[in-house]
Chains A and B, each alone.
Chain A
Amino acid sequence: MTVTLARPVTATRPDADAADVVRRARRAPRRHHRRLVAGLALVLAGAFVARVLLGDYTVTIPDFLRILGGEQIPGATYIVMESKLPRAVLAVLVGIAFGVGGAIFQTTLRNPLASPDVVGVSLGASAAAVSVIALAGWSGWPVSAAAILGALAVALAVRAVAGDHGGFRLVLAGIGLAAAMQSVIQYVFTRVDEYDVQLVLRWLTGSVNGVAWPSIGLLAVALAVLLPATAWAARSLRATELGDDTAAGLGVARRRTDVLMLLGVLLVAVGVAAAGPVAFVAFLSGPIARALNRGRTSLLAAGLVGAVIVLAGDYAGAYAFDDLNLPVGVVTGAFGAPFLLWLLARGRTGRRAA
């Protein structure tokens, strides 16, 4: 038996060159990521401007700035301040919440199918919200609180059923619970007055239309707390990505991962509370951001992709069909379903993709 022996260990203290090789090798992916984030931010800004200024009622930039300054322009002020601008702002916030929340799920559970909208967390929030609206007559912020509790309840239930195993068992348990939540919503549907149907429909598909500024402000405040907390907790993701045992060996406490998952649930829940479960945004954003980032995880890019998706989806839903004003959830649902099939067909449901 001939064996090529490893070269003997030569270096005990690396020279400056070796450290420099490492520095350079580490720089390249970071630079790509920075460029990607800058590019996505530009696209998002462009989409935002288009959403606010263009469409069925065009506003010029000087007019827009004057409106923002508080000037009353007959017609324009109302349309911008009460329809176009809140819609665009909400779309961005909700998109970020879903994008980041979804990517947290997919990366932590190492499965692209384990996104909150597939495993029933979003629908749990919806089911709780429609129940208290239609059956208990609640309105305003208690509905949002119920939505958050609903999301948490489903997340805990999925985890209890799946145990420590994660992976496919978790996805299957989640799909089952998602179906159960859907039937709760449908049951509530049969009980509501005709007057409330429109409202309940919103909790089923998700829409950024007709949300008042105070609700948007509430979401902004929630994100201002949740996103920095996520940025802090997500530092352990770099270790958790390497598998549970490796992460434990690197000193990442299980609790740390739980905190991150909780933040993911809350991000999705506050998003649903504000705009309903905009279908598949949480599911799509992570993998798209990953593909753009050469396969690497980026929560930041996922958030930006989510925001672009919701903005573009809302724009398309509002203006793509002359006589129809589709809620954004219908548009994203139409794009999400084929993507889900594509993901399954490519067989990338394992731990590699996300």
Chain B
Amino acid sequence: MTTATASPTASAPYARLEASDLTLAYADTAVVRDLDLAVPHGRITVIVGANACGKSTLLRGLARLMRPRSGSVLLDGDAIHRLPTKQVARTLGLLPQNPVAPEGVTVADLVGRGRHPHHGPFGRWTTADDEAVAEALALTDTLELADRVVDELSGGQRQRVWIAMALAQGTDLLLLDEPTTYLDVAHQVEMLDLLAELNARRGTTIVMVLHDLNLSARYADHLVALHTGRIVAEGTPRGVVTEDVVRTVFGLDSRVIDDPVSHTPLVVPVGRHQPRTSPPSPPSHSSQENR
């Protein structure tokens, strides 16, 4: 099991995962075009953008699930598609958007399947595997669910179990495609807190696609805004989330204010709807955007 101990330092972080001149395409349609991206090591990178902007495709490309039409994805300097896939799986973990929990599978069994890349052709389950699974369960606070059947868990519990599976893989890099989908707002925050703590404690480099711009701005060290397969802006949330960028990326007029809790940018959409004349309560019903 690999555990990075160093917490990210203030100096310019280097990148173990890079996209260089990357073009990804389905059939004849290029979804990601000539894209360059260096994933800062030990940081949380969040990719945002409108529906169908290519953000999930980019993540799949970074995770070697799609072969580049041109350009390349580099893992520690090597073209990721040329590396043995099992070797990559010991460095880079992936949680896709819709993983399938087989019927009747228990939490311990499911999380144990994350150990797959550590087993040789005839490899047997070892005590080290038990410990890695136990650690992943403890980190996601799911140890007491170990013998439960995954089908019977709540949405939030199930998502934590999937993250535990990805953690059991014991990788320094973790890629997640919309880990907060189908979760209510409390569980979304809980999930992102969990990932932020993992990043802080173990130095795990995290790359995730998120839908919610405000949560992205809150949790990202490095924010990447994607529009029609190209990067429009990247950098700190403060630098990326501006009214101009929101208009370009989402086609939305907005005001960007200071998040009173985290002091990160908070996007307030303008929209056409006006609240009825002088309601007694604040207009909380228009604060939900981009769903």
- A and B are partners in one complex rather than unrelated chains: yes
CB pair A239–B137 under 8 Å, yes or no, is: no
Given contacts A25-B108, A251-B85, contact A295 B143 (CB under 8 A): no
Tell me, yes or no, whether B247 is within 8 Å of chain A by CB: no
Determine if B100 is an interface residue (Cβ-Cβ < 8 Å): yes
**B233 at interface, CB cutoff 8 A:** no
Nearest A residue to B119 via CB reads A235
Report Cα–Cα, A11/B130, bound state, in Å: 15
Contact between B107 and A3, CB atoms less than 8 A apart: no
- From residue A339, how far is it (CB to closest CB) to chain B in Å? 18
Contact A6 B194 (CB under 8 A): yes
Determine if A285 is an interface residue (Cβ-Cβ < 8 Å).
no
CA distance A1 to B141 in the complex (A): 23
- Which residues of B lie under 8 Å from residue A21 when comparing CB positions? 134, 137, 143, 146
CA distance A177 to B188 in the complex (A): 47
Cβ contacts under 8 Å, A241 to chain B: 100, 102, 105
Does B68 sit within 8 A of A, measured CB to CB? no
* Number of A-B residue pairs having CB atoms within 8 Å of each other in the complex: 163
- Rounded to whole angstroms, the CA-CA distance of A23 and B185 in the bound complex is 34
Report how far A81 CA is from B90 CA in the complex, Å: 56
Q: Verify if B86 is at the interface (C-beta below 8 Å from A).
A: yes
Which of A4, A28, A352 contacts B106, CB < 8 Å?
Answer: A28
A298 to chain B, nearest CB (A): 10
Q: Is the interface of A mostly helix, strand, loop or mixed?
A: loop
The one of B84, B96, B135, B198 that contacts A245, using a Cβ cutoff of 8 Å: B96
Nearest B residue (CB) for A251: B89
- Is B100 in contact with A351, judged by CB distance below 8 angstroms? yes
A19 touching B65, Cβ below 8 Å: no
How many residues of B are in contact with the other chain, CB < 8 A?
66
- Which of B97, B102, B119 meets A242, CB within 8 Å? B102
B100, B117, B198: the one within 8 Å of A246 (CB)? B100
Residues in A whose Cβ lies below 8 Å from that of B15: none
Question: Within 8 Å of chain B (Cβ to Cβ): is A190?
Answer: no
B238 at the interface (CB under 8 A from A): no
Whether B28 sits at the interface, judged by CB under 8 Å, is: no
On whether A26 and B100 interact (CB within 8 A), knowing A3-B190, A14-B131, the answer reads no
Contact among B90, B135, B185 for A14, CB-based, below 8 A: B135
Minimum CB–CB distance from B284 to chain A (whole Å) comes to: 10
Residue contact A245 to B88, C-beta cutoff 8 Å: no
Flag whether A346 is at the interface (Cβ < 8 A).
Answer: no
| Chain B, range 67-110, C-beta contacts under 8 Å to A | 84-90, 92-110
Residue of B nearest to A237 (CB): B102
Report the minimum CB–CB distance from A109 to chain B (whole Å): 12
Partner of B143, one of A18, A26, A235, A293: A18
Taking a contact as CB atoms under 8 Å apart, the answer to whether A3 and B113 are in contact is no
B63: contacting residue among A19, A110, A242, A249, CB under 8 A: A249
* A297 at interface by CB-CB < 8 Å: yes
Cβ of B270 within 8 Å of any chain A Cβ, yes or no, is no
**Complex Cα gap A236–B100 (Å):** 15
- The distance from the CB of B21 to the nearest CB of chain A, in whole angstroms, is 23
Taking a contact as CB atoms closer than 8 A, the residue among B134, B189, B198 that contacts A22 in the complex is B134
**A9 CA to B167 CA, complexed, in Å:** 13
CA distance A146 to B85 in the complex (A): 36
* Docked-complex contact B190 and A4, CB < 8 angstroms: yes
Pair A250/B113 contact, Cβ less than 8 Å: yes
Q: Is the CB of A9 within 8 A of B197?
A: yes
Q: Are A245 and B94 interface neighbours, CB within 8 A?
A: yes
Measured CA separation A241–B108 after assembly (Å): 15
Residues of A within 8 A of B252 (CB): none
With an 8 A cutoff between CB atoms, is B169 at the interface? yes
Say whether B147 faces chain A, with CB atoms less than 8 Å apart. yes
- Chain B residues with Cβ below 8 Å from A9 are 139, 194, 197-198, 201
Complex Cα distance, B186 from A210, in Å, reads 68
Determine whether the beta carbon of B130 is less than 8 Å from that of A3.
no
Is there an interface contact between A243 and B98, defined as CB atoms closer than 8 Å? yes
Q: How far is the CA of A167 from the CA of B94 in the complex (A)?
A: 23
A-B contact pairs, 28 of them (CB 8 A): A3-B185, A6-B194, A9-B201, A10-B138, A11-B139, A18-B131, A18-B138, A22-B130, A22-B137, A25-B106, A26-B109, A28-B147, A29-B109, A110-B100, A232-B121, A238-B113, A238-B116, A242-B100, A242-B101, A243-B100, A245-B98, A249-B95, A250-B114, A250-B116, A251-B89, A295-B102, A295-B104, A296-B105
- List A residues at the B interface (Cβ < 8 Å): 1-14, 18-19, 21-26, 28-29, 110, 232, 235-236, 238-239, 241-243, 245-246, 248-253, 290, 293-297, 351-354
